Structure formats: C-alpha cells, structure tokens
Structure 1
Amino acid sequence: MTLPTNPNPLPPAPASDRDVTLAGLLADVERRIADTLAAERDRWSSVDPRCGPFVDVVAALSTAKGKLLRPRFCLLGYLAVGGEAARLGSAVDAAAAVELLHSFALLRDDVLDDSPLRRGMTTAHEWHAADHRDRALRGEPRRYGEGVANLAADLAHVYADRLTRPLPEAARAVWDELRVEVTVGQYLDIAVAAEGVADPDLSRWIAICKSGRYTIQRPLQFGAALAGRPELAAAFAEYGTALGEAFQFRDDLIDAFGDSRETGKPAGLDLARFKMSYLLSLAVGRDERIRRLAAAPGGPAEALRMRELLVETGVAEEVEQRIARLVEDARRAVVDAPLVPRWRAELLDLTSLVAYRDR
C-alpha cells in the first residue's frame, strides 16, 4: 500500500505584483491547509477508520473561518518588503504553517483553560469526553477527551512544521523562536494564575510573549526573512510589539465585557478563574474589593461583580486609553519604513481592525 505524503501543489503564483491580492493569497492559504488535511485524512483512514476523525479534529478548527490574522501578517511581511511574486508559493506555505500552529495553540489552550466553547463550537476535549460517556468506554471521560485534544494539537504542530521544512534557514530561525515564545508564555500564564500573582509588568510581558509576538511581530518577521529582508525586522518588531500588546488588551476586555453569542466562547472566563491578565493585574492593585474577589474565584455572580468594579474603578477606561496609544505607536513604526506603499497601507489599516475588534 502506497500512502500519500504531500497534498496537491498550489497553482503557479501570479506573474506580477499587480495581480496579487491579499484576499486571494489568504484563499490559497485556506486551500493549502484543507488539501493538506484532506490528504492526511485519506492516508490514515486507509490504515484504520478511527484515524480519519482524529485528523478531523485539526481540520474542524483549522478550516472554521477564523480571523486569519497570523497568516495575514505573515503574507504582509513578505509582500511589504518586496518579496518576489515568483516565490509566493513559499509565502503561502509559511502562512499556512502559522495558521496550523494557531490551531495547535487553541487546542492546547482550551484544555488548559477547560473552556467549553471555541468559535461557537464545543471544544475538542469536551466533545470527546462526551463521546466517551455516550459510548460507555473504559477509563475516565475527561482524561480521554483531554488526551485526544492534546494529541490533535501535536498533530497540527507536526503538519505546521512540515510546511516550513523547505524554507530558508533565516526564516526557520524566526519560526523556531515563535514556537518557543508561545510555549513559554503559555506556561507562565498558567503558573501566574495558579499562584495568584498580581504583577502588571509580568502580566504585560506574558501578553506580549504569548499573544503579541506570536500574532503579529513574529509572523511579520517570518515573512520578511522568507523574502530575504531581515534588515526590516526592527521596524516590524516595533510595530508588532505595540499592536500585539493592543491585541491582547482587547482580548482582556472582550473576555470581561464581550457577548459569548458574538465571540463564540464563554465570557468572563478569565475573571471567574483568576487568570492574571493585564486588566485584572491592574485592577487588583487598584481596589481592595477587587483583591477580595480575586483571592477566592467564584462563578458568574462574582465575574459580574468584577466587571462592574472594572468600570467603577476606571481600570477598563485606562486600558482603552492605553490601546489607543499603542495603535499610534504601531502606525508610527511603519509609516516611514522602506516598505511597498500598497502593503504599508494594509498594515496601517490593520491597526484599527486588530485593536478595536469585538471578538
């Protein structure tokens, strides 16, 4: 039996920059991911029928029409520094790898947070725990569900890494740093929450490491390194650090004040579980009532009271003002950088989309 190892190649890249659109490239990224996972599903289903649904755990998250922010920034990093149209296939592979890595991170994050919803769907660990109970399988349902989700996360990580294998060494170095940072940031996130540490500086660093660099800075630098323009890494670092921080602060506000029907995930989860976001770290240092609530995390009633206090004490407004300053910092970082004007304009437009989104 011969097993396929690679999906069908992408069609040839456009002949000139005039033919290139970001929407078209993102569609190529989605197709690359879908083709990769479809080929893997067929491959492993021929070994055992259980394996197809296992690959589908990755596919369900990776093809669920998310925001595609990370592949968007990866592609813009390549295009904005003048990456060659003839090598856009490699840029699409890199962007697809970044999105598959995001699926890895979400699967793992949902287990760590014990979150029941993601993008409006039951999370993988919850679904498989329920399946275990429904079929009266042996063992403990929760451990089974979490095991399946963690293994699916590993599978997404392997597929992501495989897409980066042909890339130049300089691009692979950025890729490796991205993976290390998001893992260390995730560890510190759960460690600080478990210890109940309220340190705004540390929470800010975790937000930058776990989310900001991973979402914006490193994907931009990944694309620039692929194009052979590492000298623009500093401008992308300045832009990515500022906008990445704004991105995470908006996440904090969405968790605290968002509508789960709009966001597709539970609202108030970080507050109820004393997850030391920058928002909560600031608030704990500001008000004794918040400190008392945070010392003994409760349920929906306590989360609601925490939201009220975040507004009453002015912490929520302070974070909004900080987001506005960070957006201006990000814009200044690229407005005079030696970038292709068309793609610089896209980067400037994205600052508002990222910082003022509602989910």
Structure 2
Amino acid sequence: MDFLNNKIKEFSSGKADLTKRILLLNFDELGELSDSFNKFMEYLSKDFLELKDQVMKMRGDIQVLTDSSGDLASGAERQAASTAEISNSMDDFNRIMQEIRSNIQIHSDVINRNAQNAKQLSQNLMTVIETSKIVRFRSNENLESVRTGIETVNHSVDKTLKMGGNLQEIAHRIETAGQETDRIDEILGSIQDIAESTNMLAMNASIEAAHAGDAGKGFAIVANEIRTLAETSSAAVRDISQLVISIKQRVNEAVVMAKAGAVEAEETKNLANSAGSALNTIFEDMKKSTEMIIEISELTEQQGTSIKGIRQASEQLEDISDKIRTSMDLQADGATGIGQSISTLSGSITENAGYAEKLAELAQNLQTMSERISDLIRLFVIE
C-alpha cells in the first residue's frame, strides 16, 4: 500500500519511474488495485515510448522540412528563370506540333487509302480463291470425264477388233461355201450329162420298141417314161444351176461386203486408236493443267492468308493513325493548356517563395515544440 501511495505521489510531483511494478502478494481488493495500476503503468510506458519515437521521427522530418524550405526558396528562383525559357520554347513547340499535325494528317489520309485498297484487294482475292476452287472442281470433273472417255474408246477398240475378226471369219466361211458351190456345179454337170445320156438311150429304146411292133409297146412306154424323167431331171438340173449361180453371186457379194466390213473395222480400229492416243494426250495435258490449277489454288489461298494479314495490319495501322491524330489533337490542346499553365506557374512560383519563408518559420516552431515534448518525456523513466 505504501508503494502504491509513493507511486501516486511521484505522478503528482511530475516525476515517475514507469519501469517499476507493484509486487502482488495477495488477490484481494488491494491486489486487484495493484494489478490494475501495473497495467496502467505498462500502457503508459508504451505510450511514452511511442511518443518518444514519434518525437524523434518528427525531429528528423522537421530537419527535412527545414532543408526543403531552403531548397524550395532557391528552387523558386531557378524556376522563375526557367519559366521564361519554357515560355519561349513553347512557342517553338506549338509551331513544330502544328507541322507534325499537318504531316500526320497527310500520312493518315495515305494510310486510309492504303487500308481501303488492301480491303478491296482482299475482296478481289477472295473472289479469285472461290473461282479457283470452282475451276479446280470442274477440272477434276473434266479429268474424270476424259478418263471415262478413254476407257470407252478402249472398249470400242476391243469390240471393233473383235468385230473385224468375226467379219474376216465370216468372209472365210462364205468363201468356203462358194468353193463348195463349185462342187455342186460339178455334180450338177454330171447329173446333166447322165440325164442327156438317159434321154438319148430312151429315144433309142423308143425307136427300137417301135420296130418291134406290138411286142415292144410295153418297152416303148417305159422308154417314154424314162425319157420324160430324164427331161424332168435335166430341167431340174438347169433350175438348180440357175439357183447355184444366184447363190454364188450372193456369196461373192457377201464376201465382198465382209471384206469391206473387215477393212472398215480395221480403219475404225485405227481411228479409235488415234482417238485414244489423242484422248491420252488430252488427259495428260488436262492432268498437268489440273495440277497447275491446284498449285495456283494453293498459292492463291496462301496469298489470301497473307493479304488477310496485310488487311488486318492496315486496319490496325489505320486505327493507330487515328489514335495518333487524336493524340496530336489532344497534345495541341494540351500545349495550349501548358502555355496557360506556365503563366499560372509563374505566379505560383512567386507565391511559393512566400510559402517557403512561412514554411521555414513553421519548421522553427515545430522544432521548439519537439524540444518541449522531449523535456516532458525526460521527467519519466520509461526504459
């Protein structure tokens, strides 16, 4: 209790050791009071330590402020001199900015025209790409058509060769048939000879039968029948001979026609071979053309990609040009504002010189105040 009373007296006298604490011997009301006093001393000690640190920092800031006020005063003088030079330079700057602005306007117009040309070129190239795709597709179709035509011609050549062989075989067989009709002529000649001989024998027999009288009547009748049969056979042979002659004529005509057909088949084969060769040449040429068209199409598509990049770059360049032009307009407006600000700054510099003097006076007052606070802190033992 005496220790607590002494601490309170120290506070009353303006001097106190904030590092010492009351020793707690019991936990009655007096113990609680002592504990609360110790906590109060702890908080107070921390506050004084923090206040001490702040005062030390404030002294450093005051020194900086003092130095800055001196620098501000000297800087105000230099700024006053520089302001006049800046004002003169701003006139030159405004003139240069106007020239740059005019040049940028010219370049901007050129860029805009180039962008439009790039856009038109891109559209034209896209049309070319689409057209080349159509040509490529149709070339492939034509190539397939020619290939089909070649197959058809080759098939026709095969059939023509087969037909020519058949015609030659027919001609050979017809000639063989014609040769067999010659054998028929020989047989008919023999039959004609036999018929004539039989007719002569029948006539002789009739004469002999007439000489025989009644005894030869029966023989005369038979001889007459034989003669009639011989005459009929002779007439039939003549008819057959005429028919054979007609057949031989038809056979000869058929042979001529078959040979002519074989010749025509050979000529057709030659023409078909020529057509096939021509189609093969056309096919190879069209194949090369199609390959070239495909190559051109691929190159055109690559150019389309490049032109697309050029178009995008032109549009970006156009956008950048517009931004630069807008920025230059803003800079021109800003330059005017800077000129006005320089005039305002010139007046502000004069005011800053007065503020520098007031700031130096304020720094001196703060220095005196910090020393007074330090003296008050030293009345207490805090460390």
Larger radius of gyration: 2
Higher relative contact order (CA 8 A, sep 6+): 2
TM range, normalised to the smaller chain? Answer: under 0.3
TM-score, scaled relative to structure 2: 0.15
Give the helix-richer structure, 1 or 2. Answer: 2
